[in-house]
Structure 1
Amino acid sequence: MTTTLERVAAVQKDVTFQLMSGNGQGDALVSIGTFPMPAGTRFTQHTHRTHQLAWASRGTLTVDVDSRRWVLPTTRALWIPSGVPHEVVSAGHTMMTSLYLPTSPPADPEQWDTVRPTRVTPLLAELIGYLDDPELDSERRAHGEAVLLDLLRPVTATALEAPLPTDPRARQVAGELLDDPACALAVEAWGRRVGTSGRTLARLFLADTGMSFGRWRTLVRLQAALPALAAGEPLHRVSRRVGYETVSAFVAAFRRETGTTPGAYFGARRQEVAGAPATSVRRRPSGPVAAQSRRWTGTGAMDFRAEEGSMRGPSGC
């Protein structure tokens, strides 16, 4: 069941909002909400009547839309058009900051008709904080909003997106790999486990997700690594936890999928986020409802054959 949310439930006491002025006459163009999310927090499937820009100002944020998943560090946000059902999950302690907009950015509005990741530059992050100041007068706020809308740009990278397969056999494998991304079973062994051949299972993953089983597993391992990387855990510990024997193998896979290293992926914002003050409590427009945490059964897993020697894990998982 999908819920359309207009206000945050009263039980979410730490959720805070700041309205941004629209035209200087009291109408809000954009509102900003902050959601402290301890590890395991889930906002179950819901929609908004306004567009949403979901961003982890601290930590990492996972957003599931249909059979697609985005794992977002502090340098990425996700544009979610109004009416699109989605779920939000935090693997580690996260501060979710959401912007709610009644209209799309004026530049090429058609490109905002679908869910899109956007780049969060240091300037955009600072501007969001600036506009969250309740003492800001309407004229300055209006100027700031105009700049903010101008800064929103979609990115072609899918933020380590790994679509969920629809076939029941492939979906069972996906679920088990989500639970244990470090599992090193080969596709043939996975096929036997779900009553089919490795060749058939590989075809199912390719047909349902548009990518090979191997690449799909790699993306899920990288997704699983993001919260720990955002928290500053050592690379050797993170890489082994998600199934790599060596740091170099993990970094190579990360660079291949993102075009950069883990340090560069997080480094642009880590120091700023670490020193950023918490936003202040104001007013409450639309926002998600907090729910009890539960295990996800989202999108899934992959591995390049060339990497198999770099992966670890017992053959039986």
Structure 2
Amino acid sequence: MHQLVWSQRGVASVRIGESTWFLPRALALWVPAGLVHATGAVDPSWNRSPYFLPERCPIHWPEPTVVGVTPLLAALFDHLADFGLASDERARAEAVVFDLLEPLEAVAIPLPLPVDARAAAVAAAIVADPADARTLTEWGRAVGASARTLRRVFLAETGLSFGRWRTHARLRAAMPVLATGHPVAAAARRAGYGSASAFVAAFHRTVGVPPGTYFGGGTENPARRG
């Protein structure tokens, strides 16, 4: 069955392959039928995830898709949680949900890990402390490899240059901070950026939309600009 992962309270997370989505109340993730995934939570949460039979669904998104959740959609999700609904009542409510679903132009941030022991040690250290600003040459001295070797290994084993991989790691670390309502400045510090504007630019360039749009469910939220 198709699933919409949504957290009525708190922040849900969804992991699919090497990508993870963080979903505050203003966002839900469409997970197409048959796609293996794992759901969790960043903090104590109460999830409300409607399921839809593919044969009754006019939506055919083949990939996980982030959608904004309006107050009306949230109310419909609550309504669909009533197991006492008659079949025709459920069908009418589902039809309205399908009409209201609007995808956000946003992508997940994959973080594939290298296998090479030296590159894996660098990756683990950056994930543990994304604000660590050591250069690739300095990392090479720490793990016993040249910067050129590490650069080649990261690209070959993750499909990302070292710079892009580190950007992904930093943004992934900032996502839960933003999702739980902290200002952009706090997320920027957690991710190792010198300014909120530099962080917002990196987020927009990588994800496709600025943090205020992503975590505002499609509308700018000044409280998150911090």
Give the TM-score, by structure 1 length: 0.57
Residue of structure 1 equivalent to 2:52: 101
CA 1:262–1:108: 2 relative to 1, 3 Å: closer
Asked if residue 249 in structure 1 is aligned to residue 195 in structure 2, the reply is no
Asked if residue 91 in structure 1 is aligned to residue 42 in structure 2, the reply is yes
Asked if residue 143 in structure 1 is aligned to residue 95 in structure 2, the reply is no
CA 1:229–1:70: 2 relative to 1, 3 Å: closer
C-alpha distance in 1, partners of 2:44/2:150?
36
Residue of structure 2 equivalent to 1:35: none
CA 1:162–1:148: 2 relative to 1, 3 Å: same
| Deviation of 1:183 (Å) | 1.6
Residue of structure 1 equivalent to 2:143: 194
Secondary structure in structure 2 of the residue aligned to 1:238: helix
C-alpha distance in 1, partners of 2:169/2:214?
17
1:153-302 to structure 2, matched below 5 A, reads 157-159=106-108, 161-169=109-117, 170-268=119-217
C-alpha distance in 1, partners of 2:56/2:148?
45
CA 1:215–1:94: 2 relative to 1, 3 Å: farther
Any conservation in 2 of the 1:230–1:266 contact (CA below 8 Å)? yes
CA 1:86–1:139: 2 relative to 1, 3 Å: closer
Matched letter for residue 101 of structure 1: F
Matched letter for residue 131 of structure 1: L
Identity over aligned residues, as a percent? 41
C-alpha distance in 2, partners of 1:234/1:68?
23
Secondary structure in structure 2 of the residue aligned to 1:125: helix
CA 1:127–1:252: 2 relative to 1, 3 Å: same
Secondary structure in structure 1 of the residue aligned to 2:203: helix
CA 1:155–1:233: 2 relative to 1, 3 Å: closer
Matched letter for residue 29 of structure 2: A
Aligned residues: 217
C-alpha distance in 2, partners of 1:120/1:89?
19
| Deviation of 1:79 (Å) | 0.6
C-alpha distance in 2, partners of 1:268/1:152?
12
C-alpha distance in 2, partners of 1:80/1:149?
14
RMSD over aligned CA atoms reads 3.1
| Deviation of 1:263 (Å) | 2.5
Instruction: Please state which structure has a larger fraction of its residues in helix.
Output: 2
Task: Name which of 48, 57, 71 aligns with 2:22.
Answer: 71
| Deviation of 1:153 (Å) | 5.9
Any conservation in 1 of the 2:2–2:54 contact (CA below 8 Å)? yes
C-alpha distance in 1, partners of 2:120/2:102?
33
Instruction: Please state which structure has a larger fraction of its residues in strand.
Output: 1
C-alpha distance in 2, partners of 1:130/1:69?
28
Residue of structure 1 equivalent to 2:11: 60
C-alpha distance in 1, partners of 2:83/2:56?
23
Any conservation in 2 of the 1:71–1:223 contact (CA below 8 Å)? no
| Deviation of 1:77 (Å) | 0.9
CA 1:143–1:53: 2 relative to 1, 3 Å: same
Asked if residue 117 in structure 1 is aligned to residue 65 in structure 2, the reply is yes
Give the TM-score, by structure 2 length: 0.76
Any conservation in 2 of the 1:79–1:118 contact (CA below 8 Å)? no
Secondary structure in structure 1 of the residue aligned to 2:107: coil
| Deviation of 1:177 (Å) | 1.9
Residue of structure 1 equivalent to 2:223: none
Q: For structure 2, which runs of at least 5 residues remain unmatched after alignment?
A: 220-226
